Amino acid sequence: MSVPLLTINRVRKAFGGLVAINDVSFEVTKGELLGLIGPNGSGKTTMLNLISGALSPTSGNILLSGQNIAGRPAHKIARIGVARTFQLVRVLPSMSALENVVAGAVFGHNRLWGAEALALARDLLERVGLKGREEVPVAAMTYIDQKRIELARALAGNPHVLLLDEWLAGLNPSELRVGIELIREISEQGRTIIMVEHVMDAIRSLCTRCVVMNSGTKIADGRSADVLADPEVVRAYLGDDDA
């Protein structure tokens, strides 16, 4: 086994008396595409928020290449090399598509400026399928195109770890196919990705490995096919009767 790029070590997040994440540990290897799944309210997005710095954990460590990033402010973590998309798509509405992506290139792990940032942003827009739409105001774009912008913006920072929070949610079947291919492409280029997802077809076809959470605890971790067949995972999703 190679050295893990990201180590989640007994991470706990409590909101008052409610324990959203209960001493969860797992590791992500460089270049891996990890699926983080679980029923609604199981703590997946909270986990991503802890990694990206939107929230700070109550206890535990999060190590990125050996450096503890737990509890550091989001902008610092972004610079160290974590980029994300949001569950409810968040674009910069008054800025053009190109500027949205430039934002990621300028302030993220990459820290480019000027012509380099613009060139990278153009390149990424082309990669996510928005070539020729650089100057379009993003507020006028469709949902999937806004999601593409978000993805390009996250990639523009050239992060060590890319966090996708239900990036495929809300897409129609044909968009879904395109979306899955896009993620596969990015993964094949060597990017380490953690994706929170409800679309099981996507998990099956994309992720070799899955971590399953339920009510804040990790209940399974392993090869996707094995994990999805695990009785406890099925029970978590469907309830006792169907297991």
Partner 1 sequence: MMNIPRNELLALGAGLAGAAVLAFLPLVTEGFWLSLSVNIMLYAAICTAWALFSGPTYLVSLASAAFFGVGTYSVAIFIDVLPFPALILIAVVAGALLATLVGLATLRLSGVYFVIFTLGLAELLGQIVTWVQTNFGGTIGLYVFTDFTETHLYWMLLALTVVVFVTGWLINRSRLGLALRIIGNDEAVARHVGVDTARTRVILFAVSGAFIAVAGAIMAPRYGYITPDAAFNPMTSFLVVIMALLGGTRRLWGPLVGVVPFTVVMDFISGHFPNQTAVIMGLAFLAIVYVLPDGVTGQLETLFRRRRSIDKSLPATTAEEGR
* Residues engaged in binding partner 1 (CB under 8 A): 52-54, 73-75, 78-79, 83-84, 86, 90-95, 99, 102-104, 106-109, 111, 113-115, 117-118, 153, 157
Minimal distance, residue 183 CB to partner 1, in Å: 19
Minimal distance, residue 115 CB to partner 1, in Å: 5
Q: Which is nearer to partner 1, 159 or 216 (CB)?
A: 159
Minimal distance, residue 77 CB to partner 1, in Å: 8
Q: Which is nearer to partner 1, 102 or 206 (CB)?
A: 102
- Pairing relation of β-strands 161-165 and 209-214? unpaired
Q: Which is nearer to partner 1, 164 or 207 (CB)?
A: 164
Q: Which is nearer to partner 1, 97 or 199 (CB)?
A: 97
Minimal distance, residue 92 CB to partner 1, in Å: 4
Q: Which is nearer to partner 1, 19 or 92 (CB)?
A: 92
Pull the structure tokens for residue 190.
């060597």
Minimal distance, residue 62 CB to partner 1, in Å: 16
